[in-house]
Amino acid sequence: MGRADERAEALRNHFDGKVALVTGAASGIGRALAAELIDRGATVVVSDVDQPGVLAVAEALERVTGGTDAVPSRAIAAVLDVTDADDVAELVARTARDHGGIDFVFNNAGIGIGGPVSDLSLAHWQRVLDVNLWGVINGVHAAYPIMIAQGHGHIVNTASLSGLLPSPLLVPYSTTKHAVVGLSVGLRMEAAEHGVKVTAVCPGVIETPLLDKRNPDDLPATDSPDIRAMLTALVGQPYPAASLAADVLDGVARNRALIVTPGHARRAWAAYRVSPQLLVTQGADRMRKALRGAQSRHA
C-alpha cells in the first residue's frame, strides 16, 4: 500500500466505531454527512424537525448498514427542533448516555432567508437567527460540557462561504454564518486545553434543496431572488452534496479549523483576503448582471 493510500485509509478509519449526531439530516448536506459517516463506520443519530424526512433517511441508511435484531442499526432517527434548547440538550445527553459517549456533533441545520434588506421584516431576521445561529449555540451548549468531561470530542458547525464573504440579497443568512465562523474559531482556541476540537465548515454553492427554497410561507412576502440562478451565474454549477460530505469528513479527520470547499469557494475567499475592496466592487456588478440574466431566462 502506498503512502497516499495509507493516508486515505487513516482518514476513513478516523470515524470507524465512533458516535456522531447530525442535525438537519433529512436532506441536503446533513443527509450527505450522515451517509458518509455511516460509510466510514460511525453510528449516527440523524435528526431533523422534518419527521417523515428523517425517518426515511434513517430507514435508507439502516438498509445500508444491515441492522437486525442481533446487529443493531448504526442509523438512529430523532425528531429535533434545534431552536428548542431543552430538546437539543436532551437528545445530546441521551445519545451520550445510550452509546457511552459522543464523539462528533455536526450542528448543520439551517435555513435561507433572502431578499433586499429593505423588504425584510424583523420576523425574517428572528427566524434565521433562531435556526442558523441559536440552533448552533444550542448544540454547542449541550455537547461542549459532555465533551469536556470525556476529555475528547469534535464539534463541527456548518457555516458557509457566506460566512467569510459579503453576500448581498442574502444578508440575514450571511450574518448568521459569519457569527457561526466567529463562534467556532473562538471556541476552538478555548476548547483545545480540554481535548475538544471545533471546526467550521464553509462550503460554496452546494446542490441541495435549499437552493430552490423561497422564504418560509408564514413570513411576510418579499421580492426574493432566484437563488439557484443567481449563484450559478456567479460561480458556476453547484457542487454535489456527497462530494462535500467527503471533503468535510477528510477535513475533520485532519482537525482543520476551517473547511472551505470546493475550489470555487477557496478561490473566492483568497481573492477577498487579498483585496476586499476589489471583490466588493466587482461582486456588486457581477451580482446585478447575474440577476438580470436570471430574470431574463425566467421571463
Catalytic residues: 173
Bridge partners for 253 per DSSP: none
Place of cell 460509510: 39
Residue 61 · residue 34 · CB < 8 Å: yes
Q: How many CB atoms within 10 Å of residue 118?
A: 7
Residue 154 · residue 198 · CB < 8 Å: yes
d(CA 231, CA 95): 37
Query: Of 188, 154, 160, nearest to 175 (Cα)?
Result: 160
Residue 202 · residue 160 · CB < 8 Å: yes
d(CA 111, CA 160): 12
Cβ contacts of 253 within 8 Å, gap of 6 or more: 10, 11, 14, 15
* Burial class of residue 126 (count of CB atoms within 10 Å of its CB; 0-12, 13-18, 19+): middle
d(CA 2, CA 111): 42
d(CA 256, CA 250): 9
Query: Of 197, 179, 176, nearest to 187 (Cα)?
Result: 197
